[in-house]
Amino acid sequence: MGYSISQVAEKFDLTAHTIRYYDKEGLLPFIDRSKAGNREFSDSDLEWLKLICCLKNTGMPIKQIKQYIEWCLQGDDTLEIRRQMFIDHRKEVLKQMDDLKENLKTIDYKLELYDSGCSIPLNGNKS
Amino acid sequence: MGYSISQVAEKFDLTAHTIRYYDKEGLLPFIDRSKAGNREFSDSDLEWLKLICCLKNTGMPIKQIKQYIEWCLQGDDTLEIRRQMFIDHRKEVLKQMDDLKENLKTIDYKLELYDSGCSIPLNGNKS
DNA sequence: ACTTGACTTAGAGCTAACTCAAAGTGCTAA
DNA sequence: TTAGCACTTTGAGTTAGCTCTAAGTCAAGT
């Protein structure tokens, strides 16, 4: 009989509010409903949600994820454009990792200074 | 005579608006002014801005960065708490990198499917 | 003196992504 | 059958981080 919205919320560390919001925004057009009108998530739906969270957590805006879902619904005509989307997005994720590494260096440098017990005044290298 | 706000904006790929916003939020309490009242950034100010951008780009909220700046202004009494802040933030950055790596795996898996020319229907693993 | 252009301020407006409230429905257990 | 709870919807409110507007100042060039 599938998972309820609150079960899915717990599984994905989201709130039921957020999942309904994603649904409203067109990210989940394939979720079945029970007789009572409640959302019923299948295992395949969870796979979709996992991908959606992956894209969202790597900085893709909701609107673009919605665009991707729409392409999926359109069928094989959009295979190439979807593939290209993943190629482009992959590049952005690599960029994020590079930026993160660079910033980690800055943080590590500051930590070295703090660990050496060295006091750094606000206008350190001025005079 | 220092750098003007628009020079700094260009250097850091920010807008002058954004820099004024950071100033208003208390992130730049040490910037000198010219006779005319214009901001004049020294090389040391650029170092501060670089650190601020590093913290912001690794997900630290403006308010917390402001807190850090205030601790700096308070002097050596806050050295230990600042050190701890960097230790905590470093942990979060490492977490971000881990998450990014995990998500990259998902994206690479999708790309493999697309590259193999395999069509994946919306309810792929249902029936 | 006049224009041009970069700067100033206060404060309003905007976008993304939630987050919540109100009012209502339907299953389940006592 | 009544209570309780998880779900439903619509639509408004919130937060962070900008982003822009209006009205004005100042200094340099012609």
Contact partners, residue B124, CB within 8 Å, separation at least 6 = A44, A47
pLDDT band with cut points at 50, 70 and 90 for residue B1:
confident
Per-residue model confidence as pLDDT tens digits over B20-77: 999 999 999 999 999 999 999 999 999 999 999 999 999 999 999 999 999 999 999 9
**Interatomic CA distance for residues A74 and A70, integer angstroms:** 6
Fold that domain A5-115 belongs to in CATH: Multidrug-efflux Transporter Regulator; Chain: A; Domain 2 (1.10.1660)
Classify each residue of A81-94 as buried b or exposed e, where b means 16 or more C-beta atoms within 10 Å of its C-beta: ebbebbeebbeebe
Residue of chain B whose Cα is closest to the Cα of A58: B100
Domain ranges of chain A: 5-115
Per-residue pLDDT, B102? 98
Query: Which pLDDT belongs to residue A124?
Result: 47
| Contact check, Cβ <8 Å, B125/A43 | yes
Say whether pLDDT at B125 is over 50.
Answer: no
Q: For the structural domain made of B1-60, what CATH number should be given?
A: 1.10.1660.10
How far does the CA of residue B114 sit from the closest CA of chain A (Å)? 6
Which chain B residue lies closest to A87 (C-alpha atoms)? B111
Q: Which of A85, A100, A125 to mutate to test the interface with B (most CBs of B within 10 A)?
A: A100
pLDDT at site A126: 39
Phi, psi of B14 (to 5 degrees): -120, 170
Q: Mean pLDDT of residues grouped by 10 in chain A (127 residues)? A: 93 96 97 94 96 98 98 95 98 98 98 83 47
